[in-house]
A and B are shown apart, each in its own frame.
Chain A
Amino acid sequence: MSIRARIRDGDTEAFEQLFDEFARSVYGHAFRLTGNWSTAEDVTSLTFLEAWRLRHRIDANDGSLRPWLLGIATNVARNTRRAARRYDDALTRMPRSEKVPDLADEVVGRIDDAERLAAIRRVYGRLRRQEQEVFALVVGAGLGYAEAAEALGISVGTVRSRLSRARRKLEKFAAEREPPRPSRQVRGDRATAVRFTREEYR
């Protein structure tokens, strides 16, 4: 029995596997959309709670559940407060990170100062929400057009057009932007690029 079918049937062990496999992807996507480490954790938890609630919607095809999860994560990130209300009771039991993750080196990894975080928020801030979502799914999480379309419940054509609008805006913004100062060339950029490529082919 496939993991899809098992989860649809309410198999909690299969769901646990799903968490192990995709929590990192969901967290990464949530971070790209929210620009906030601790909100990304909330979104990750809420996404899996939502996935469990909506498990009967999993269909019988044999594709990865990753696009489906990232689609749920997109909806949760879009309206965290509404999702949080549904799980208000559960969230009081959620173990909070005691550290402020923005300041914790091992958590922040390659983004080692607030300036860089602000820079990426500024760039994403140039995009409309729907463009951000498509951009984060296709460029950030590495979904194909069809997968992104599935995740968002829109057509492939819409994915393409939103992405090309995002591209035009970002190109314009990049042209306006001052060339990066040397201090911005923070260690670890190369490693990031490698990781990014790997994520793409998952």
Chain B
Amino acid sequence: MNAGEREELARLLPFQVEPELPRDRHRHLKEFVMTEIHRDARPARSKWRLLRPAVLAPVLAAAAAVAIAAPLALGGGEAYAISKKDDGTIHITINKAKNPEELQADLQGMGLNAVVDYIPTGKRCSPQPRSQSFLSKEEAPLVVWPSQEEGFTIDPKVVKDGQTAVLEFSVSEKPDLQVAGIWAGVSTGPVADCELVDSTEAPLGPPRNN
């Protein structure tokens, strides 16, 4: 087929479509695909150690304040870093899949009523959904996409008095890829503790209804 024939066929369409993949979407999809591929390319070596989420947050907040020696940003340490941006958003980078309770306590120390859980590969929280009163993503856009850098950005302003930010991170035990994803929701009611159970389903958040 030559170019002329092709153009002739193309004219049969009301107009030609040549959709562009926007640059930031290209980057995000690539990061996603490459992360999944690395996950596949280097299978897990060691057994995952179960981590329990924090329950007594105020106590842990005090503990964390002591534990964090000379943090580079506002909080964290070796395992994670959090920093507050000028626009009030909080940036979270997780470097090691441990101490979700300290991250939770740090976020609470910054005035965000948060519940943080790390979900290892092959697990998910029970029960799901963990609250009967999650706001929709439109009502409470807690996660800010796209994040301009590595890690996750959340906007604490969307969490009002009496509400709870529920953050679930999917983590893997491999040394170079610790945190693959985030699910975040804002609950207006009580939030169930996360008990990790074996699962072949999607690891994060309430079951998807499709």
Taking Cβ atoms with an 8 Å cutoff, the residues of A that contact B are 10, 12, 15-16, 19-20, 23-24, 27-28, 31-32, 37, 40-41, 44-45, 48-49, 52-53, 87-98, 106-107, 109-111, 116, 119-120, 123, 135, 138-140, 142, 144-145, 163, 167, 170-171, 173-174, 177, 180, 184, 186, 189, 192-193, 195-197, 199-201
Contacts and interface: CB of A to CB of B under 8 A. Distances in A.
B201 interface: yes
11 contacts: A23-B30, A48-B29, A52-B40, A53-B40, A93-B180, A94-B29, A109-B19, A138-B9, A170-B9, A174-B12, A196-B7
Given A24-B20, A196-B16, 11 more contacts: A10-B41, A15-B37, A23-B29, A97-B25, A107-B25, A123-B14, A138-B6, A144-B1, A170-B13, A177-B14, A192-B18
B29 A44 contact: yes
A120 B19 contact: no
Contacts, number: 156
Interface string B132-156: 0000000001000110000000000
A92 B19 contact: no
Given A89-B202, A97-B145, A120-B13, A16 B30 contact: yes
Given A45-B33, A110-B18, A196-B16, A92 B10 contact: no
B160 interface: no
B175 to A, nearest CB: 16
Interface residues of B, number: 46
Interface in B28-65: 28-38, 40-41
Contact of B14 (A106, A116, A139): A116
Given A27-B19, A28-B19, A91 B202 contact: yes
- Among B3, B15, B32, the most chain A Cβ lie within 10 Å of the Cβ of B15
A49 B33 contact: yes
Given A116-B14, A120-B17, A106 B181 contact: no
A192 B16 contact: yes
B133 to A, nearest CB: 22
B9 A167 contact: yes
